[in-house]
Structure 1
């Protein structure tokens, strides 16, 4: 485990912190599309992502989801940190976008390390800053972009997160992530294809403009 930590977090954390993480962390693997955190769950640990990507969603009163942002290798989730610190129920859902490996850190260690390690303090503050910026970007996207622009941005973001310009995704899955209907997504995808921004294949979309 120390080798994985040094590889992915060695440039961020002191050697002593790396050793402590290795002692207390629980290594977990999640398959793509599996739920990692659910709405209204109490969280007892925070994730450090070793590999893969996770999408963070908000659920409305009807049970429909809206993608807020993605977290990737080297990241943690600011919403998880807030829930752990406040001992409150989760307001978000986290789904594995790809196969994911994470190290789960007991929440008690988070506050202890904030005063003990400057690198951990900087990491947590940077995580809050990054997630806040992404959340603002998500709000701006909903408020100021039309659905065609939102869809194109969603496809490009998804491609960058998984590191592949070909997405294996259905129109219904996209519609659920963007909180709209499959019919609307299918129509807009065809429009993007006519603009030579994407290529449509059966359950696959190739992004031509990244």
Structure 2
């Protein structure tokens, strides 16, 4: 991602300006935060780490995963432009270690907000307080959807929903992932994913190519 710091800050200002923040708050966010450019596959938040900054997505997509002690992962939700992670806000404000992992799904541009400013902004600026509460609500709804998919959906339904969620997050009908990568994120086996993708292909819902899947 060939973007200078000044260009990145300008893009961040454009995104933040659309979020209804007060002008003074916008100035404080831009003066106290910093830009971070990340490559696809790069880990942004790791389990067991105490974060000092909260990521706000300016461009690109992050995926948030839950990881158990054995290293098994399950996909929870995506963060896109204008989103932040409510779980990271909670961990930061309560000085807790992170219990999840956030990874760049594609080359992304982030604006990192220092935790030290959060309390003051929540108290001082109604727009920031609404933003935090809206983030909690959005992530809570997505977590309920993730729980419902695990508890009530068959694996073929979970897989198709996963592909549609990925399409919506990336804006592309082409999913550049291997069967093994998908299996890891759905916490199942590659054999099961391969069989179900073949089933979806026979139903005319997807087409398979080498290391990528196209949603029809």
- Please give the TM-score of this superposition, normalised by the length of structure 2: 0.94
Partner of 1:84: 92
Stretches of structure 1 lacking an aligned partner (at least 5 in a row): none
CA deviations 1:121-169 (Å, max 9, x no partner) are 0000000000000000000000000000000000010011111001111
Partner of 2:135: 127
Shift of 1:108: 1.1
Shift of 1:6: 3.5
> Where does structure 1 differ by over 3 angstroms across 4 or more consecutive aligned residues?
none
Stretches of structure 2 lacking an aligned partner (at least 5 in a row): 1-5
- Specify which of 16, 22, 36 is matched with residue 9 of structure 1: 16
Number of equivalences: 208
CA deviations 1:4-33 (Å, max 9, x no partner) are 233212132111111111111111011011
Partner of 1:98: helix, strand, or coil?
Answer: coil
Shift of 1:3: 3.2
Partner of 2:3: none
Do 1:75 and 1:127's aligned partners in 2 also have CA atoms closer than 8 Å? yes
Cα separation, 2, equivalents of 1:141 and 1:37: 24
Partner of 1:113: helix, strand, or coil?
Answer: helix
- Specify which of 62, 78, 82 is matched with residue 74 of structure 1: 82
Cα separation, 2, equivalents of 1:61 and 1:18: 40
CA deviations 1:90-126 (Å, max 9, x no partner) are 0000000111111111101111100111100000000
- Specify which of 146, 168, 174 is matched with residue 160 of structure 1: 168
Do 1:56 and 1:95's aligned partners in 2 also have CA atoms closer than 8 Å? yes
Cα separation, 2, equivalents of 1:49 and 1:116: 23
State the Cα RMSD in Å.
0.9
